[in-house]
Chains A and B, each alone.
Chain A
């Protein structure tokens, strides 16, 4: 086989290299992990016309079609133009050209979401709507970021294992007069959440500091004594990742922030990444950039110009808990250290 293929260019175009020389796998973005079912016929068409007849549900909720020959990529790109237009431009209002050449970048990765409160009885927010707004903020950008939106702190969407994980939370209100003191919320909080409720003289006392904002008390309440405040709030987890070196669960960066704050933070993401990488995008996802810059620098840049709502709480410091795959994995010759900011990418490819 004599192939002359720029695999980095095809990767940026969202075609991933196969172990079979000359074959690639298309990754169709599905922002918010939801699309009209009609698009499935396109997936089937691509798989049966240019692929190997199968499709894979991507680990970041993309629709993957393997077995596409390199020479067919232009035809596939022409075919998915309409999908990109409908899903990215119409649905997410993304500012991008749709010129039949496929995806302009793989940088900001597919924004995942659980089904959210359009269906789920536990969810506090509409996850797809937020995911689509985030898509508009971060795509297309060559700077890598892995993002997911969870409808509630149960975090089925794995916000704890993404660069940025957004979790929908609710501030609860308690109407003492409607409470019958049945204790269902106390039991629910203890069973599902953080045991912040107790029954005192037939009414509820709450340790507000440690409420995770899940809404289990509202679900359990037979009288609507517990309700969710109308205002939507979010928690942002940062720096979660898997990987071969030092996987780790993310840590809480922001709590009780509004949607406006969430979006303003995402708007700053490409700016922070550009600074950290000295304006040279590389295939490196966001958690590493936070490491290289250090949390304090990250916090300064990511919150630049962000007007925090009065309820907002931001982590003063973050202490990561990594699962180091060998002891002292970060101890190495100083010449091999990575850094961030101006000059940090000099001499690198």
Chain B
């Protein structure tokens, strides 16, 4: 069923919804960008529809709502501890198809990778999506190449128009909120083609993979990549975090355990006790991330690649390293290694 709501009506709908839900959406933070007088758009709790940035891609992904950059897990006092509390409301996230698909990939890591992560799960279980229809695709988007341009994993779908929003109620639990609202024809559409297209290379066997790891193509990133980790924080699928115990200054036996997002691009990420690290150079780290997104994850779980083609890594890179350009370079390298004998 479709509905057409003016912004004013959407706001009264939000007022009703907010009794049960916290609503999160991409929001503009003026002049908070990397360069002066530039903005950033990131997920934050909203009250009004006017706060939602619907016509531009957010700089940071929707994953932050479910797995925030910093999260306290529990507090300890000598031999006692208490789990950090979480609010008792449900969560409604305005997200694009790529972001919703990205969350499915995060689920695999946090929930289906041997054990369930309690802290992820308790937040994830609260989440309902309002799928924000993409009416146009930005030049860094390549969701169609990754097969993540579509999803049916949402409770509501929304198309933003001038001063009004078309809603499609897919999950019946939202139907009561729309009772008496103006009905309208609305068939959900998805982006069918991006300006940027990539072919993900097929790496046929371990031998090719090992040769690819040693390939000269990675060397340029020793000079270009600065290991800042912007790409992984902007990535809608990266899940890595580090855990730290903090003792409060006044009393060392009181404190908290918190986890914080971490980046495989930052030097020291893989440092082991004793000082050994696996990936010593910038290029090693960039190669590791690249192959994780377009090969390794799929090898592990087998239901598609980790990368959903949101293109935020490319957008946020301060050194103008394009991830799609990197994928093309991998493609070329694999072809070279296979000598035309694989389907890359």
Contact = CB atoms under 8 A, between A and B. Distances in A.
A335 B120 CA distance: 83
A256 B30 CA distance: 21
Nearest to B255: A201
Contacts of B35: 117, 121, 219
B246 to A, nearest CB: 5
A123 B260 contact: no
Interface string A199-232: 0011000000000000100111111110110100
B244 to A, nearest CB: 5
A180 B263 contact: yes
Nearest to A126: B37
A184 interface: yes
Interface string B122-137: 0000000000000000
B97 interface: no
B132 to A, nearest CB: 21
**Chain A CB within 10 Å — which of B36, B68, B230 has the most?**
B36
Contacts of A219: 34-35, 318
Interface string B32-65: 1111110010100000000000000001100000
A93 B116 CA distance: 66
Interface in A115-154: 117, 121, 123-126
A117 B37 CA distance: 8
B68 A228 contact: no
A178 interface: yes
Contacts of B232: 222
A219 B263 CA distance: 17
B13 interface: no
Contacts of B262: 180
B109 to A, nearest CB: 18
Contact of A201 (B33, B246, B266): B246
Given A202-B260, A224-B59, A180 B229 contact: yes
A181 B316 CA distance: 18
Given A222-B230, A223-B69, A224-B42, A182 B263 contact: yes
A180 B261 contact: yes
A184 B269 CA distance: 13
B31 interface: yes
Nearest to A121: B35
A179 interface: yes
Given A222-B228, A224-B40, A180 B32 contact: no
B36 A179 contact: no
Nearest to A231: B31
Interface residues of A, number: 29
A182 B266 contact: yes
Contacts of A201: 244, 246
Contact of B228 (A117, A220, A230): A220
B70 A176 contact: yes
Contacts of B36: 117, 123-125, 170, 215, 228
B31 A228 contact: yes
Interface string B62-82: 000000111000000000000
A227 to B, nearest CB: 4
B177 interface: no
Main secondary structure of the interface of A (DSSP, over half): loop
Nearest to A176: B70
Contacts of B174: none
Contacts of A221: 34
B233 A222 contact: yes
Contacts of B34: 218-219, 221, 224
B227 to A, nearest CB: 9
A180 B262 CA distance: 6
A227 B32 contact: yes
Contacts of A230: 30-31
A177 interface: yes
Nearest to B265: A222
B301 interface: no
A222 B70 contact: no
A295 B242 CA distance: 54
B278 interface: no
Nearest to B316: A222
B60 A224 contact: yes
Contacts of B316: 222
Interface in B234-272: 242, 244, 246, 258, 260-263, 266
Contact of B229 (A125, A182, A218): A182
Interface in B18-40: 29-37, 40
A224 B30 CA distance: 12
Contacts of A121: 35
Contacts of A228: 31-32, 36
A180 B60 CA distance: 14
Given A125-B36, A180-B260, A181-B260, A227 B29 contact: yes
A182 B229 CA distance: 9
B228 A177 contact: no
B244 A202 contact: yes
Nearest to A201: B246
Contacts of B258: 202
Interface in A88-127: 117, 121, 123-126
Contacts of A227: 29, 31-33, 40
Contacts of A178: 69-70
29 contacts: A124-B36, A170-B36, A177-B68, A178-B69, A178-B70, A179-B69, A180-B229, A180-B262, A180-B266, A182-B228, A182-B263, A184-B266, A201-B244, A202-B246, A202-B258, A221-B34, A222-B229, A222-B230, A223-B60, A223-B69, A224-B32, A224-B60, A225-B69, A227-B31, A227-B32, A228-B31, A228-B32, A230-B30, A230-B31
Given A180-B69, A180-B260, 13 more contacts: A125-B36, A176-B70, A181-B244, A181-B260, A201-B244, A201-B246, A202-B246, A220-B228, A224-B29, A224-B42, A227-B33, A228-B31, A228-B32
